[in-house]
Structures are given as C-alpha cells and as structure tokens.
Amino acid sequence: MRKILFVCLGNICRSPLAEGIALHLVKEQGIKNIVIDSAGTANYHVNEAPDHRTTSNALKHGIDLSSLRARQFKKGDFDAFDEIYVMDENNLKNALKLAETNSHKEKLKLLLSIGDFGRLDVPDPYYGTENDFEKVFQLVYKAIKELINVKN
C-alpha cells in the first residue's frame, strides 16, 4: 500500500488542495491501495476546514474539499507514510527538525521536485488574490498528476 502525505504551513491552502486533488484523481483513475492525507507544520488551524478561497477554487474544478480538516504534522507521520511531499523550503526545514533518522529525512521531498516546473516552492496564496489561488491549483494539479502517474 502506498501512503502519501502532503505538508504546508497551516494545512488550509496548499496541502489540503494537494490531498483533495490526489483523492479526486485516484478515484477517477480507479487506483486502489493508496492512502492520502495532509498536515501543516504549524498548529494555527488545527481542526479547521480548508480556507474558503481554496475550497471555492477547487470546487470550480470539480474537487470537493469540504470533508477535510487541518491537523499538525507530527513525528509519527514519518512512520505512518512512505512519501512526504512538502510545499516549500521553509516547511521542509520545519519538517526536517522532527526527523529522527536518515530514513525519515529521505521521505521528505519538495512536491515540485518531482517534475520540471522551473521552480521548487509552491507559493502560498493565503495573502494573495483569487488569481493566486488558481495559479497554485494549476501547479499542484500538474504535480499530483505526475506523482500518481495519471494516464490521459
């Protein structure tokens, strides 16, 4: 069974978007034996729904995030997940502080490092405009398609 975790800062914009897109594509493709979750390195929004702008933007693309709730990334996630994809360098540094072994460290990757995106950080749209949320959606969608090897 493949177990994937997506991580950002508060777990209300980028990582729940990645989780929602992955869940949507996995269901659409009929992929079985996969666990997908998301978390934030900070505890600002624990148990909150994703940001309404993220939710609204995802829904425009047919992806429903309404059942997702924020949680904080924890040490136990290193043992619970095989692959951990972080949205940016700052959160990668935060996650690395919790890594206790080389095996833990090796599980951490920047989401955009899996493809040729011309950048490594998924920008945080929190203080941005609706257009910023759409740009983040497009970046994350392309990365998730590549990550789970979606056939078009």
Q: What is the pLDDT of residues 42-76, one digit of tens each?
A: 999 999 999 999 999 999 999 999 999 999 999 99
**Cβ of 23: how many Cβ atoms within 10 Å?**
20
Q: Are strands 83-86 and 2-8 parallel, antiparallel or unpaired?
A: parallel
The residue annotated as part of the active site, out of 8, 51, 71, 88, is: 8
Q: Is 13 annotated as catalytic?
A: no
According to the model, what pLDDT value does residue 101 have? 97
CA distance 125 to 137: 10
According to the model, what pLDDT value does residue 151 have? 60
The residue annotated as part of the active site, out of 51, 88, 121, 124, is: 124
According to the model, what pLDDT value does residue 82 have? 97
According to the model, what pLDDT value does residue 85 have? 98
The residue annotated as part of the active site, out of 13, 14, 51, 53, is: 14
Q: What is the DSSP string of the chain?
A: -EEEEEEESSSSSHHHHHHHHHHHHHHHHT--SEEEEEEESS-TTTTPPPPHHHHHHHHHTT---TT----B--TTHHHH-SEEEESSHHHHHHHHTT--SHHHHHHEEEGGGGTT-S-SPPPP-TTS-HHHHHHHHHHHHHHHHHHTT---
According to the model, what pLDDT value does residue 119 have? 85
Taking the chain (152 residues) in consecutive chunks of 10 residues, what is each chunk's mean pLDDT?
98 98 97 97 97 98 98 98 98 97 97 89 97 98 92 58
CA distance 146 to 127: 28
Q: Is 124 annotated as catalytic?
A: yes
According to the model, what pLDDT value does residue 147 have? 95
According to the model, what pLDDT value does residue 118 have? 84
